[in-house]
């Protein structure tokens, strides 16, 4: 029995948005074999991609991967595809997101200091500080979510789908 390689899987070219189903199937088979070392399973999983372009490969949520590939193969395929889509998204939009977060944090801090100084009643100041603290906590949690690795994000999304916590795309 062949086992998965411990070396990092080679980065096969991610299919373009207008890629044909055959191109998507080739990418899936080529990507699954070095990662998991399962030649027959990779070919079987890739063969399940019958229709759909590279756009669908990028845009489908976990529930659609389960519908197309079945639970076992969806887990393998999504863990290959989702990190690549996140890498692509971050390379296109990541700098703007990070800049927006820095801008938001700066404005938030400035407004917080101004509001706290402007409020004269002690109770109102305590409530305002509590509300601002809650907002700050949510912002820090969102930043932690953004710091999660793409692989970890894919696994989290799959776990939510399999546990029933995921919201349907349809």
Q: Which structural domain, as residue segments, surrounds residue 97?
A: 21-165
Residue 24: exposed, middle, or buried by beta-carbon count in 10 A (0-12, 13-18, 19+)?
buried
Say if 12 falls within a structural domain: no
Say if 37 falls within a structural domain: yes
Say if 63 falls within a structural domain: yes
Say if 170 falls within a structural domain: no
Say if 5 falls within a structural domain: no
Q: Which residues contact 101 (CB under 8 A, 6 or more apart)?
A: 143, 146
Q: pLDDT tens across 96-127, in order?
A: 777 777 777 777 777 777 776 776 677 776 77
What distance in Å separates the CA atoms of residue 133 and residue 138, rounded to the nearest whole number?
9
Say if 104 falls within a structural domain: yes
Say if 33 falls within a structural domain: yes
Residue 119, pLDDT score = 67
- Taking CA atoms, 79 is separated from 76, 83, 97, 161, in Å, by 5, 7, 24, 13
Half-sphere exposure of 45 (CA within 13 A, CB side): 28
Q: Are 132 and 112 in contact (CB under 8 A)?
A: yes
Residue 7, pLDDT score = 42
Residue 3, pLDDT score = 44
Say if 53 falls within a structural domain: yes
Instruction: Pick the closest to residue 47 from 75, 66, 28, 19 (CA basis).
Output: 28
Q: Are 32 and 41 in contact (CB under 8 A)?
A: yes
- Taking CA atoms, 99 is separated from 8, 12, 111, 117, 131, in Å, by 31, 30, 18, 27, 24
Residues of the chain with pLDDT under 50: 1-9, 168-170
What distance in Å separates the CA atoms of residue 125 and residue 38, rounded to the nearest whole number?
62
Residue 10, pLDDT score = 52
Residue 169, pLDDT score = 46
What is the phi-psi region of residue 149: left when phi exceeds 0, alpha when psi lies from -120 to 50, beta otherwise?
beta
- pTM, entire model: 0.62
Alpha carbon distance, N-terminus to C-terminus of the chain: 39
Domain count, the chain: 1
């Amino acid at each position: 029995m062949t086992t998965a390689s411990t070396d990092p899987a080679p980065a096969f070219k991610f299919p373009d948005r207008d890629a044909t189903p055959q191109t998507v199937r080739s990418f899936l088979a080529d990507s699954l074999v070095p990662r998991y070392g399962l030649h027959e399973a990779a070919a079987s999983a890739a063969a399940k991609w019958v229709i759909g372009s590279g756009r669908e490969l990028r845009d489908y949520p976990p529930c659609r991967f389960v519908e197309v590939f079945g639970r076992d193969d969806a887990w393998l395929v999504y863990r290959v595809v989702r990190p690549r889509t996140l890498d692509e998204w971050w390379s296109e939009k990541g700098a703007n997101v990070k800049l927006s977060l820095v801008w938001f944090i700066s404005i938030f801090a400035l407004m917080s200091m101004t509001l706290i100084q402007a409020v004269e009643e002690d109770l109102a100041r305590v409530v305002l500080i509590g509300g601002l603290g809650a907002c700050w906590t949510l912002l820090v949690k969102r930043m932690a979510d953004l710091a999660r690795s793409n692989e970890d994000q894919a696994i989290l999304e799959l776990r939510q789908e399999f546990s029933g916590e995921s919201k349907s795309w349809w």
